[in-house]
């Protein structure tokens, strides 16, 4: 059976990274695509693990060489999904998750209409702001950009197949698991019966 593409989006600070860390711990068969970005690394981020941190000219070369499955500009930086790693995993039958912003998600869903699309919502915009500030890793200007962009993104949540509010983390995680595995494939049913 071929692999499946899962597109997960939602405003910055909503908790996508936190949710995905737990999801990947529980389901090692899932592969999270590592994006390229021109943004500077945050204190805790590692090149090649969290992102491939590249210069603007390196990013532009990747675009020219058609190495990116999708890309977008977000808060003054470029972000994109390297195509080869995703293609290789899908061809091997693995499930691949893309954690990307709205414009990129729209591009991917045009090319891969069968992808599963999930939008993560905050309980409120105030709580979103608290989370971005609480993370304490973005300069003030970046926070303002992110909050502005968040409102546009939230308005587009209905374009996605599934919307999940990340209020209680564990509840949101269970809903993501249900979205991905709930409509059980034959493989998973037999795993559950073992």
Judged by CB under 6 A, the stretch of 19-27, 84-92, 101-109, 158-166 that binds ligand 5GP is 101-109
For ligand ADP, the closer of residues 18 and 77 by Cβ is 18
SS3 of residue 62 by DSSP: helix
**Phi, psi for 3 (deg, rounded to 5):** -75, 175
Among 12, 35, 81, 117, binds ligand ADP (CB under 6 A): 12
Strands 77-82 and 95-99, sheet pairing: unpaired
Q: Find which of ligand 5GP, ligand ADP, none residue 81 binds, CB within 5 to 8 Å per kind.
A: ligand 5GP
- Indicate the length of the chain as a whole number: 194
**39: contact with ligand 5GP by CB under 6 A:** yes
What is the rounded CA–CA span in Å between residue 184 and residue 66?
35
Partner interacting with residue 169 (select from ligand ADP, ligand 5GP, none; CB below 5-8 Å by kind): ligand ADP
Alpha helix locations (H) across 4-55?
16-26
Of positions 3, 18, 82, 147, contacts ligand ADP by CB under 6 A: 18
Q: How far is the CB of 111 from ligand 5GP (least distance, A)?
A: 13
CA distance 69 to 126: 33
Provide the pairing of β-strand 162-165 with 52-53.
unpaired
Site string for ligand ADP, 129-168 (x = CB under 6 A): --x--xx------------------------------x--
């Amino acid at each position: 059976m071929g692999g499946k593409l899962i597109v997960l989006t939602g405003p910055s600070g909503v908790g996508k990274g936190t949710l995905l860390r737990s999801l990947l711990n529980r389901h090692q068969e899932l592969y999270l695509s590592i994006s390229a970005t021109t943004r500077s690394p945050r204190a805790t981020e590692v090149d090649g693990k969290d992102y491939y941190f590249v210069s603007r000219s390196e990013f532009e070369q990747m675009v020219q060489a058609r190495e990116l499955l999708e890309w977008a500009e977000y808060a003054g930086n470029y972000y994109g999904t390297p195509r080869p790693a995703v293609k290789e995993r899908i061809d091997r039958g693995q499930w691949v998750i893309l954690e990307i912003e709205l414009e990129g998600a729209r591009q991917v869903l045009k090319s891969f209409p069968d992808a599963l699309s999930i939008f993560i919502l905050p309980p409120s915009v105030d709580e979103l702001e608290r989370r971005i500030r609480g993370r304490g890793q973005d300069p003030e200007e970046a926070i303002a950009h992110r909050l502005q962009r968040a409102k546009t993104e939230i308005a587009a949540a209905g374009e996605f197949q599934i919307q999940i509010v990340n209020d209680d983390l564990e509840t949101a995680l269970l809903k993501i698991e249900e979205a991905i595995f709930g409509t059980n494939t034959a493989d998973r049913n037999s795993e559950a019966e073992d």
